[in-house]
Chains A and B, each alone.
Chain A
Amino acid sequence: MHSEKKMTNLRDTWRSDDLKRHIQGGGYDEDAARRRDRARRDEEAKAHRSGASVERRHRERDGSAQERRSHGDRDRDGEGDGNRERRTHRDLEKDRDGAGGERAGSRDVRSHRDRDRDRERDRRKDSTRDRVADGDERERERRKERERDRTADARQRDTGKEGRDRGQERTGNENRDRERRRAERDGERDAERHRRRAEGMGGGERDRDRRRERGGERDRDRDREREHERRKDRDPYADRARGHNAKHLKEGDEVGDTRDRRSKREHRRQKENEEYREQRRREKEERDRRRTAREEREGGDREAGRERRRRERKKEEEEEEEQCVEEEAPPTTAKTKRRSWDPSALEKEKKDAEVGKVTSEDQGQEEDAEEEEEYEDDFEDYEEDFEDDEEAGSGGDGGGAAREEVEAIRRAMEAENERIGSALLSPQGLEEGDAPDPAVSRHRPAPKGKFIDFVAAKHREVSKKVAIKQKKRSSDLLRLIDLDFSVTFSLLDMPPLSEYDMYIKSFGTTNTKQAYVQCNEDNMEREIQTEEVETSEKWTQHPADRGAVCGGASLALESLDESVTSVNFDSQRLAAFLLSASQVVSVLLEEDRAERLSLGKPRTQEDGLSFSDGGLHLNPGVPFLRGREVALIVFSQVQRQTVLSVHRPLAGPSAVRLDSNTILCVWNIWEPSQPQKILVYESEVLCCCFSPGRATLVFAGTAVGSLVLWDLRERSDLHCNIRIGDHDWTLRYPTFSTDSVLASSSHLSSVTSLEPIPTSAVEARRAGLPLLSSKEESSGLSFQLASLDEKGVLNLWVVVELPQADQAGSQNDLGLKPGGKVKLLLSSSIITLERLSPGDSTDVGPVHSLLLKFLPSDSNHFFIATSTGLVAHGTRHGPRRPPRFYKPRAAGPTPSRVTSLDFSPFGEPLFLVGCDDSTVRLHSVATEFPIMEWSCRGPVLSGHWSLTRPTVFCVLDSAPTLHLWDLSQKDLEPTAVESLRSDSVTAMAVFGDPSKQNTFSGISLARSSGKIEIHYFNTKWTSSAPDELEKLESLLYGAH
Chain B
Amino acid sequence: MEGSNAVGNTYVIRPNYQHKFKAAVVKECIRNVLQGALSGRQYEPQEVPFLSRSLADSIKEKVKETGLDRYKLVVQVVIGEQRGEGVKMAARCFWDADTDSYAQDVYMNVSCSDDCTQIAANGGRVITAFDEH
A residues with a Cβ closer than 8 A to B are 465-466, 469, 472-473, 476-477, 480-497, 501-502, 505-506, 510
Q: Can you list 19 A-B pairs with a CB-CB distance of less than 8 A?
A: A465-B3, A469-B3, A469-B6, A476-B6, A477-B11, A483-B94, A485-B92, A485-B93, A486-B93, A486-B95, A486-B97, A487-B92, A488-B92, A489-B104, A490-B90, A491-B90, A491-B104, A491-B106, A495-B86
- The 9 A-B residue pairs whose C-beta atoms are closest, nearest first, are A496-B86, A497-B84, A491-B89, A492-B89, A486-B93, A494-B87, A492-B122, A488-B92, A489-B91
Report whether B91 and A466 are in contact in the complex, using a CB–CB cutoff of 8 Å: no
CB distance from B58 to the nearest CB of A (A): 19
Report whether B90 and A489 are in contact in the complex, using a CB–CB cutoff of 8 Å: yes
A491 with B11: in contact, given A496-B84, A497-B84 (CB under 8 Å)?
no
Report whether B11 and A476 are in contact in the complex, using a CB–CB cutoff of 8 Å: yes
Residues of A within 8 A of B87 (CB): 492-494
Residues of B within 8 A of A483 (CB): 94-96
Report whether B86 and A492 are in contact in the complex, using a CB–CB cutoff of 8 Å: no
Task: Confirm or deny: B61 has a beta carbon within 8 angstroms of a beta carbon on chain A.
Answer: no
CA distance A469 to B3 in the complex (A): 7
Give per-residue flags for B1-37: 1 if the beta carbon is below 8 A from chain A beta carbons, else 0. 1010110010101000000000000000000000000
Task: Confirm or deny: B47 has a beta carbon within 8 angstroms of a beta carbon on chain A.
Answer: no
Residues of A within 8 A of B94 (CB): 483-486
Residues of A within 8 A of B84 (CB): 496-497, 501-502, 505
What residue in chain B is nearest A462 (Cβ atoms)? Answer: B3
Residues of A within 8 A of B92 (CB): 485-489
CA distance A465 to B85 in the complex (A): 54
Task: Confirm or deny: B116 has a beta carbon within 8 angstroms of a beta carbon on chain A.
Answer: yes
Task: Confirm or deny: B120 has a beta carbon within 8 angstroms of a beta carbon on chain A.
Answer: yes
Tell me which of B86, B116, B120 contacts A506 (CB under 8 A).
Answer: B116
CA distance A481 to B102 in the complex (A): 18
Residues of B within 8 A of A484 (CB): 94-97
Report whether A476 and B90 are in contact in the complex, using a CB–CB cutoff of 8 Å: no
CA distance A174 to B3 in the complex (A): 28
Task: Confirm or deny: B125 has a beta carbon within 8 angstroms of a beta carbon on chain A.
Answer: yes
A505 with B116: in contact, given A483-B94, A483-B96, A485-B94 (CB under 8 Å)?
yes
Report whether B90 and A488 are in contact in the complex, using a CB–CB cutoff of 8 Å: yes
CB distance from B113 to the nearest CB of A (A): 10
B residues with a Cβ closer than 8 A to A are 1, 3, 5-6, 9, 11, 13, 84-97, 100, 102, 104, 106, 112, 114, 116, 120, 122, 125, 132
Residues of B within 8 A of A502 (CB): 84
A481 with B3: in contact, given A486-B94, A489-B104, A496-B85 (CB under 8 Å)?
no
Residues of B within 8 A of A489 (CB): 90-92, 102, 104
Report whether A480 and B112 are in contact in the complex, using a CB–CB cutoff of 8 Å: no
CB distance from A547 to the nearest CB of B (A): 97
The interface centre, meaning the residue of B84, B88, B92, B112 with most chain A CB atoms within 10 A of its CB, is B84
What residue in chain A is nearest B110 (Cβ atoms)? Answer: A511
Report whether B88 and A492 are in contact in the complex, using a CB–CB cutoff of 8 Å: yes
Tell me which of A465, A491, A494, A496 contacts B125 (CB under 8 A).
Answer: A491
What residue in chain B is nearest A489 (Cβ atoms)? Answer: B91
CA distance A993 to B106 in the complex (A): 138
What residue in chain B is nearest A502 (Cβ atoms)? Answer: B84
CB distance from A392 to the nearest CB of B (A): 35
CB distance from B62 to the nearest CB of A (A): 19
Residues of A within 8 A of B112 (CB): 510
Given A490-B88, A490-B89, A495-B86, 4 other A-B contacts at CB below 8 A?
Answer: A486-B100, A488-B91, A489-B104, A494-B120
The interface centre, meaning the residue of B96, B104, B125 with most chain A CB atoms within 10 A of its CB, is B96
A481 with B93: in contact, given A489-B102, A494-B120 (CB under 8 Å)?
no
CA distance A482 to B99 in the complex (A): 11
Residues of A within 8 A of B97 (CB): 482, 484, 486
What residue in chain A is nearest B4 (Cβ atoms)? Answer: A469
Tell me which of B1, B13, B88, B116 contacts A480 (CB under 8 A).
Answer: B13
Tell me which of B6, B91, B122 contacts A472 (CB under 8 A).
Answer: B6
CB distance from B108 to the nearest CB of A (A): 9
What residue in chain A is nearest B1 (Cβ atoms)? Answer: A466
CA distance A490 to B9 in the complex (A): 38
CA distance A473 to B5 in the complex (A): 11
What residue in chain B is nearest A495 (Cβ atoms)? Answer: B86
Report whether A481 and B86 are in contact in the complex, using a CB–CB cutoff of 8 Å: no
CB distance from A943 to the nearest CB of B (A): 146
What residue in chain A is nearest B84 (Cβ atoms)? Answer: A497
CA distance A469 to B97 in the complex (A): 25
CA distance A341 to B6 in the complex (A): 42
Residues of B within 8 A of A472 (CB): 6
Report whether A466 and B93 are in contact in the complex, using a CB–CB cutoff of 8 Å: no
Residues of A within 8 A of B13 (CB): 477, 480-481
Residues of A within 8 A of B104 (CB): 489, 491
Residues of A within 8 A of B11 (CB): 473, 476-477, 480
CB distance from B36 to the nearest CB of A (A): 20
CA distance A496 to B85 in the complex (A): 4
Residues of A within 8 A of B106 (CB): 491-492
CA distance A57 to B33 in the complex (A): 47
CA distance A502 to B93 in the complex (A): 35
CB distance from A463 to the nearest CB of B (A): 11
The interface centre, meaning the residue of B87, B120, B122 with most chain A CB atoms within 10 A of its CB, is B87
Residues of A within 8 A of B5 (CB): 469
Report whether A466 and B90 are in contact in the complex, using a CB–CB cutoff of 8 Å: no
The interface centre, meaning the residue of A465, A483, A494 with most chain B CB atoms within 10 A of its CB, is A494
Residues of B within 8 A of A492 (CB): 87-89, 106, 122
CA distance A484 to B92 in the complex (A): 10
CA distance A489 to B97 in the complex (A): 13
CA distance A496 to B94 in the complex (A): 30
Residues of B within 8 A of A485 (CB): 92-94
CA distance A476 to B133 in the complex (A): 11
Residues of B within 8 A of A476 (CB): 6, 9, 11
The interface centre, meaning the residue of A486, A487, A497, A501 with most chain B CB atoms within 10 A of its CB, is A486
CA distance A495 to B94 in the complex (A): 28
CA distance A934 to B100 in the complex (A): 173
CA distance A489 to B103 in the complex (A): 10
CA distance A491 to B106 in the complex (A): 8
CA distance A502 to B85 in the complex (A): 10
Residues of B within 8 A of A505 (CB): 84, 116
Report whether B91 and A491 are in contact in the complex, using a CB–CB cutoff of 8 Å: yes
Residues of A within 8 A of B91 (CB): 488-489, 491
What residue in chain B is nearest A484 (Cβ atoms)? Answer: B97
CA distance A496 to B84 in the complex (A): 5
Report whether B88 and A493 are in contact in the complex, using a CB–CB cutoff of 8 Å: yes
CA distance A480 to B104 in the complex (A): 28
The interface centre, meaning the residue of A482, A488, A489 with most chain B CB atoms within 10 A of its CB, is A489
A494 with B88: in contact, given A483-B95, A485-B93 (CB under 8 Å)?
yes
Residues of A within 8 A of B132 (CB): 477, 481
Residues of A within 8 A of B93 (CB): 485-486
CA distance A469 to B4 in the complex (A): 9
Report whether B89 and A481 are in contact in the complex, using a CB–CB cutoff of 8 Å: no
Residues of A within 8 A of B102 (CB): 486, 489
CB distance from A469 to the nearest CB of B (A): 5
Residues of A within 8 A of B89 (CB): 490-493
CA distance A481 to B131 in the complex (A): 11
What residue in chain B is nearest A491 (Cβ atoms)? Answer: B89
CB distance from B59 to the nearest CB of A (A): 15
CA distance A501 to B3 in the complex (A): 63
Residues of A within 8 A of B96 (CB): 481-484
CA distance A489 to B94 in the complex (A): 12
CB distance from B123 to the nearest CB of A (A): 10
CA distance A481 to B122 in the complex (A): 31
Residues of A within 8 A of B3 (CB): 465-466, 469
Residues of B within 8 A of A488 (CB): 90-92
What residue in chain A is nearest B130 (Cβ atoms)? Answer: A481
CA distance A198 to B46 in the complex (A): 29
CA distance A505 to B83 in the complex (A): 10
Residues of B within 8 A of A487 (CB): 92
